[in-house]
A = this chain, B = another copy of it.
Amino acid sequence: MNPFGKITPLRSPIAINLAERHPASACDECGARHIGLCDALSDEELGFLFRAAQHMSIPPGKLLMEEGGPAQHYFNVNSGMVRLFKALPDGRRQIIGFAGPGHFIGLALTEVNVVSAEAMEPVQVCRFSRAGLSAMAADYPALERKLLDIAVHELALGQQQMLLLGRKTALERTASFLLSWAQRQEPCGDGGLPRPNAKLILPLARADLADYLGLTIETVSRSLGHLKKDGLIEITKIHEIILLRPKALAEVAEAAD
């Protein structure tokens, strides 16, 4: 874990000049420019932020952060998918969430990370030193406000997941997941259902799914099989699922009768 160059936080008017002299043209071509954190910033602000970032490529399986290790950086995902998880000493694992393009990783107060973050595929990120971004946040209210938004949104997702993990059956969990993933893939209005026959791309292995839903891979497989048998979904490829009847799926997910 080598923190390469220390990022010197720039805050004077000079900083803005520097930013102007170095427009963040790279950001224009970044898939994450208009989502998440970056979307909250003007071109100028973004230029500044860009200069504070280290652009990095991470190979699959590599950890961006390790639970228990020193919390030194924040990350913003530009491409690829990252899994966030916690583990018990005996190896049991709970996946906390998945971070795709535009997602911000590393919000924490403690000196050590409370979760691990691992690249699931080749991933590109912008990395920020904690101190550097904190300093920026002090000068750019929009940045801090966006971080609050992000944190609050994650909070709501987490609460939803607690309900799922604490009180839903395997079948309900699976149906809930499919719907929430569809929502994530193409947002269709607040709480709206995906359209019938929506195609779902699942870049997750069954093991990830299981560790996310608090189940075993066998139970996930059986649950999906059950939904397939009932004609609610169709599994075309292993990582491609068609939601034949989203409405019915929603009823399974919430145990509505």
Contacts and interface: CB of A to CB of B under 8 A. Distances in A.
A111 to B, nearest CB: 8
Interface in A180-207: 190
A4 B166 contact: no
Nearest to A90: B255
A160 B86 contact: yes
Interface stretch (A50-58, A130-138, A228-236): A130-138
Contacts of A144: 4, 141, 144-145, 148
B4 A114 contact: no
A89 B254 contact: yes
A108 interface: yes
Number of copies: 2
A42 interface: no
A147 to B, nearest CB: 6
Contacts of A152: 107-109, 151
Contacts of A108: 3, 152, 156
A17 interface: no
A5 B114 CA distance: 20
Contact of A148 (B86, B96, B148, B257): B148
Contacts of A4: 134, 137-138, 144
A156 B109 contact: yes
Interface in A12-42: none
Interface of A: 1-6, 8, 86, 88-90, 92-94, 96, 107-110, 114-115, 130, 134-135, 137-138, 141, 144-145, 147-149, 151-156, 158-163, 165-168, 190, 211, 213-214, 254-257
6 contacts: A3-B134, A5-B135, A88-B163, A147-B148, A148-B148, A166-B211
Given A8-B138, A89-B254, A161-B162, 5 more contacts: A1-B109, A88-B254, A148-B148, A165-B165, A166-B211
